[in-house]
Structure 1
Amino acid sequence: MTKRIAYVELKTSQQTSPVPEHLIAPGYAVDLVQTEIRVTPVDAADLLLSDVAYGEAAMRAARNGYDGVLIGGVPDYGLAAVRATTDIPVVGSGEASLLVAAALGEKFSIVTIWPETMDFVYDRLLRDNPIGRQCISVRYVSTHAEQSTLAEDDNFLTQMKAGREHMIERILAEIELAVKDGAKSVILGCNCMSPVAEILAARSSVPIVDPTTAGYRQLETMIALGLRPARDPRVSLSERADLFAEMVQAADLSLGAEQEDCPVCVLHDDGTASCDLPASVPAEV
């Protein structure tokens, strides 16, 4: 029987999971399960809303019979809450990446495409995981000013996903600065960086940890081993999943047309969004 894995990601028009086919072992299938609302964690309030949105989507996936859930965001939105509501394995891309990096060497760094104004999401990830103490630096590739270009078809994110040489060089420069900090390996700080992970790994002086690969491989292994989350037998499984669904439905009605488009996606002239590169952006590898 095929084991079904849900990859939870922000709501967009994308229809397929970003997990590469070559990663998926025989007997497993991966489906994309999206949040009901779109929100970018630009501050602490939106980070909490992201936790609720991702958490509800993961709880929904568990309720719909998936054998495991992967949170497709390095900040591991809603991870602890989801684990409190289900007995199936739930893996966070961020937590899995920390474990892999720690196994590669005592010290590691995170290099993210996002600007330093997003530092609070990484601060939380490192604070919530004991292994986070081994992270010696977080380095940011883009600037806050560049975020204003995200509504354009040709911006720093689409250029990165297309493998544009100048963006690859910018990321590699931060990776090598992390090496100077003392990092023995580097975690890519966003699942949106996965498309260029192999390019970066081939040109980096230290191992590169791709969060999509790290998270998926850990989840698949846990399912294959028949492992379930450990929990205190004195505490019953939470029954709040339905409440999370109601909260998200209310947020969806409240936000309405004000919901921002996914900043990782390409915004088209008709107002729709997708994670496909526009034809006008050639790949330069």
Structure 2
Amino acid sequence: MSGPILVVNPNANPAVTAGMDAALACYRLPGGPSIECLTLADGPFGIESPADAQRAIPPLMALVQARPDAGAIVIACYSDPGLDVCRSLTAAPVFGIQEAGVLTAMARADRFGVIAVADGSIPRHRLHLRRMGVLGRLAGERAVNLSVDQTARPEAEAPLTAVGAALCADGAEAIVLGCAGMSRHQAALSRSLGVPVIDPVRAAVAMALGALLAPD
């Protein structure tokens, strides 16, 4: 039996962690790896800027080093903070939700769109997409301009739907939710928009399960 899949929320907001935990219920398979959703208590309350992302990295590194029992680790922030350095600290596979969400969207559609938390997040996301070499598949990225905490609340569904519809008008054939706090809205948005809506937390956990259930 492999160790658990650790799904780490790098911000200190437990509501975001609770939403992820609920969204991952269907991935807890009988006889499969356990899935632990953790809140990084020493992280910023929300990761909404490059400074917030940098603040999350040292406590994230410490957590990875403190959990050698992990079978796989998911960094559940769409900025993928500390992804490279965390991969260097453990033999377990480490997945970032931006990478996983984008790769999953491209497996479902030719062009994808991203719903960002805020306008200031978009340049940071584009740098990662450029590094991945996939900017040519991006139909667009639009911000809902809510805080991370607000995206995790029921009242965020309407503005998220409006931004998703605008991305579909831009040519997006699949939508990636650009924040772990948006997990709770995935099913409703998919129904409303009529296109695949990718929860990147679920996408990363699916990859982690694949790595552990069918190891090299």
Tell me whether the two structures share a fold, i.e. TM-score over 0.5.
yes
Superposition misfits of 4+ residues, deviation over 4 angstroms: 12-17
- One of 108, 120, 124 as aligned partner of 1:121: 124
> What is the alpha-carbon distance in structure 2 between the residues aligned to residue 36 and residue 66 of structure 1?
19
Q: What's 1:89 paired with?
A: 93
> What is the alpha-carbon distance in structure 2 between the residues aligned to residue 45 and residue 135 of structure 1?
25
CA RMSD of aligned residues (A): 2.4
Task: Verify: 1:31 aligned to 2:36, yes or no.
Answer: yes
> What is the alpha-carbon distance in structure 2 between the residues aligned to residue 223 and residue 177 of structure 1?
38
The secondary structure found in structure 2 opposite 1:11 is coil
Q: Mark the CA change 1:130 to 1:49 in structure 2 (over 3 Å): closer, same or farther.
A: same
Opposite residue 61 of structure 2, the aligned amino acid is G
Q: How does 1:192-271 map to 2 (within 5 A)?
A: 192-227=181-216
> What is the alpha-carbon distance in structure 2 between the residues aligned to residue 132 and residue 55 of structure 1?
29
Q: What's 1:51 paired with?
A: 57
Q: Mark the CA change 1:42 to 1:141 in structure 2 (over 3 Å): closer, same or farther.
A: closer
- One of 155, 160, 182 as aligned partner of 1:171: 160
> What is the alpha-carbon distance in structure 2 between the residues aligned to residue 107 and residue 12 of structure 1?
32
1:130-165 Cα distance to aligned partner (Å, 9 max, x none)? 23442221111126xxx5xx8xxxx8445xx22x3x
The secondary structure found in structure 1 opposite 2:206 is helix
Task: Verify: 1:137 aligned to 2:140, yes or no.
Answer: yes
Opposite residue 29 of structure 2, the aligned amino acid is A
> What is the alpha-carbon distance in structure 2 between the residues aligned to residue 95 and residue 55 of structure 1?
19
Q: Mark the CA change 1:97 to 1:50 in structure 2 (over 3 Å): closer, same or farther.
A: same
Q: Aligned-pair distance for 1:12?
A: 4.4
Q: What's 2:107 paired with?
A: 103
Task: Verify: 1:7 aligned to 2:17, yes or no.
Answer: no
Query: Larger radius of gyration, structure 1 or 2?
Result: 1
Paired residues of 1:47 and 1:121 also in contact (CA < 8 A): no
Structure 1, unaligned runs of 5 or more: 228-285
> What is the alpha-carbon distance in structure 2 between the residues aligned to residue 177 and residue 197 of structure 1?
16
Paired residues of 1:187 and 1:211 also in contact (CA < 8 A): yes
The secondary structure found in structure 2 opposite 1:138 is strand
Higher helix residue share: 2
Structure 2, unaligned runs of 5 or more: none
> What is the alpha-carbon distance in structure 2 between the residues aligned to residue 44 and residue 156 of structure 1?
19
Q: Aligned-pair distance for 1:54?
A: 2.6
The secondary structure found in structure 2 opposite 1:84 is helix
Q: What's 1:183 paired with?
A: 172
> What percentage of residue pairs aligned between the two structures are identical?
20
> What is the alpha-carbon distance in structure 2 between the residues aligned to residue 43 and residue 20 of structure 1?
26
Aligned residues: 210
1:63-105 Cα distance to aligned partner (Å, 9 max, x none)? 2x11111111111111111111222111111111111111112
Q: What's 1:281 paired with?
A: none
Paired residues of 2:177 and 2:198 also in contact (CA < 8 A): yes
Q: What's 1:60 paired with?
A: 66
